[in-house]
């Protein structure tokens, strides 16, 4: 990690936590067996995203749940189903898209809680396990197929589902692709490589392909970068899943500031919201908390238009 000046430290506070009535204490799941060495996990929240009314949505991966948190911090359960939701984003038309590790790309109806398939496979072949997604201004959907890949098996993938239905595999040799985000001008795609402890930078050419993909920044830790966000000045916000930090990188890859978790170390994802879109909301999954930090630069408004 490079910095010419010591990164500014930004404090965080607990915005809200998963209520006790929604915690599944002592319940094991296939997700916790594979990802937490069999330890029972009462919740593991991820995928924060705001709707137009200021409601915050989060997923609970091991227990197949999606919650809506009202501006007054009241939690409501939208759906509980036989799946493992991870990423969640809004389309321009208000549709809610969900990347599910087991079921592929899904759509959620927030009024009924119904989950319906958008894309379950590629050419009849199932995905390794979808993780996160980003929606471009033209409606194209970028998503990561992470599965259990890592440095031992660098076979993760990044796909783009175009608005005309065409599915492109943009990259296919990735060690644990996780969060992803587009630059402000949508000419560069950033992808977190969790097990490589880095973020890759993928320029998007005019024909839609990628070229000269490189490592934008490198980190360290027992886990690695997870969810990503972008602010209006083109600075990349990176949630780190084992250091208890969210790092802010300038356009040249220099770390210029960091948000310290006020609770656990497992910062898994981020979303901008609040006044003037200048507050950063962070899922700290180990404690089931959502943290909040005041940022100097506003985030890119989602969905993009």
Express each pLDDT in 7-25 by its tens digit. 999 999 999 999 999 999 9
Q: Rounded to an integer, what distance in angstroms lies between the CA atom of residue 253 and that of residue 291?
A: 25
Pairing of strands 121-122, 115-119: unpaired
Who contacts 114 (Cβ-Cβ below 8 Å, separation ≥6)?
79, 108
- CATH of residue 191's domain is 2.120.10.30
Q: Rounded to an integer, what distance in angstroms lies between the CA atom of residue 53 and that of residue 46?
A: 20
In a domain, 237, yes or no: no
Closest alpha carbon to 65 in 25, 117, 115? 115
Q: What is the mean pLDDT of residues 254-263?
A: 97
In a domain, 235, yes or no: no
Total domains present in the chain? 1
pLDDT value for 159:
98
Q: Rounded to an integer, what distance in angstroms lies between the CA atom of residue 71 and that of residue 304?
A: 22
78-114 pLDDT per residue, tens: 999 999 999 999 999 999 999 999 999 999 998 899 9
pLDDT at residue 1 greater than cutoff 80: no
pLDDT value for 32:
84
Q: What are phi and psi of 178, to 5 degrees?
A: -130, -115
pLDDT at residue 27 greater than cutoff 90: no
In a domain, 58, yes or no: yes
Q: What is the mean pLDDT of residues 260-280?
A: 97
- Arithmetic mean of pLDDT over the chain: 96
Q: Which domain holds residue 135?
A: 12-228
pLDDT value for 143:
98
Q: Rounded to an integer, what distance in angstroms lies between the CA atom of residue 253 and that of residue 283?
A: 24
150-193 pLDDT per residue, tens: 999 999 999 999 999 999 999 999 999 999 999 999 999 999 99
In a domain, 270, yes or no: no
In a domain, 305, yes or no: no
Q: How far is CA 270 from CA 33, 39, 105, 143, 154, in A?
A: 25, 25, 20, 16, 25
- Kind and range of the H or E run holding 31: helix 30-35
Read off the pLDDT band of 3 (50, 70, 90).
low
In a domain, 271, yes or no: no
Pairing of strands 45-50, 56-60: antiparallel
In a domain, 241, yes or no: no
Cα radius of gyration (the chain): 18
Q: What is the mean pLDDT of residues 121-131?
A: 94
215-237 pLDDT per residue, tens: 999 999 999 999 999 999 999 99
30-73 pLDDT per residue, tens: 888 888 888 889 999 999 999 999 999 999 999 999 999 999 99
Closest alpha carbon to 223 in 197, 190, 258? 197
Which three-class secondary structure state does DSSP give residue 197? coil
Sheet holding 188-193, edge to edge: 177-182, 188-193, 198-203, 214-218
Rounded to the nearest 10 degrees, how much is the dihedral formed by the CA atoms of 180, 184, 188, 192?
-20
Q: Are 286 and 264 in contact, with CB atoms under 8 Å apart? A: yes
Q: Are 108 and 87 in contact, with CB atoms under 8 Å apart? A: no
pLDDT value for 236:
98
Tokens of 72: 């007054």
In a domain, 152, yes or no: yes
């Amino acid at each position: 990690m490079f910095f010419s000046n010591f990164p500014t430290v930004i404090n965080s506070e607990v915005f809200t936590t998963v209520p006790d009535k929604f915690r599944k204490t002592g319940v094991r799941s296939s997700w916790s067996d594979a990802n937490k060495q069999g330890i029972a996990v009462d919740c593991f929240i991820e995928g924060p995203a705001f709707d137009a009314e200021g409601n915050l949505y989060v997923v609970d991966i091991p227990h197949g749940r999606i919650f809506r948190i009202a501006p007054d911090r009241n939690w409501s359960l939208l759906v509980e189903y036989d799946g493992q939701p991870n990423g969640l984003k809004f389309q321009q038309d208000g549709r809610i898209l969900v990347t599910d590790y087991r079921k592929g790309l899904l759509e959620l109806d927030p009024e009924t809680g119904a989950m319906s398939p958008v894309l379950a496979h590629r050419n009849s072949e199932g995905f390794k396990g979808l993780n996160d997604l980003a929606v471009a201004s033209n409606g194209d959907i970028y998503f990561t197929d992470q599965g259990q890949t890592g440095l031992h098996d660098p076979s993760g993938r990044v796909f783009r589902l175009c608005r005309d239905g065409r599915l492109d595999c943009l990259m296919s040799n990735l060690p644990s692709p996780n969060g992803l985000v587009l630059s402000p001008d949508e000419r560069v795609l950033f992808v977190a490589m969790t097990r490589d402890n880095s973020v890759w930078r993928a320029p998007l050419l005019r024909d839609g392909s990628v070229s000269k993909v490189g490592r934008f920044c490198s980190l360290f830790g027992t886990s690695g970068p997870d969810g990503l966000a972008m602010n209006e000045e083109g600075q990349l916000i990176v949630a780190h899943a084992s250091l208890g930090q969210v790092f802010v990188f300038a356009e040249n890859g220099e770390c210029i500031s960091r948000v310290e978790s006020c609770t656990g170390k497992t910062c898994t994802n981020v979303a901008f919201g609040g006044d003037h879109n200048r507050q950063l909301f962070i899922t700290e999954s180990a404690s089931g908390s959502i943290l909040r930090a005041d940022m100097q630069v506003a985030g890119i408004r989602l969905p993009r238009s």
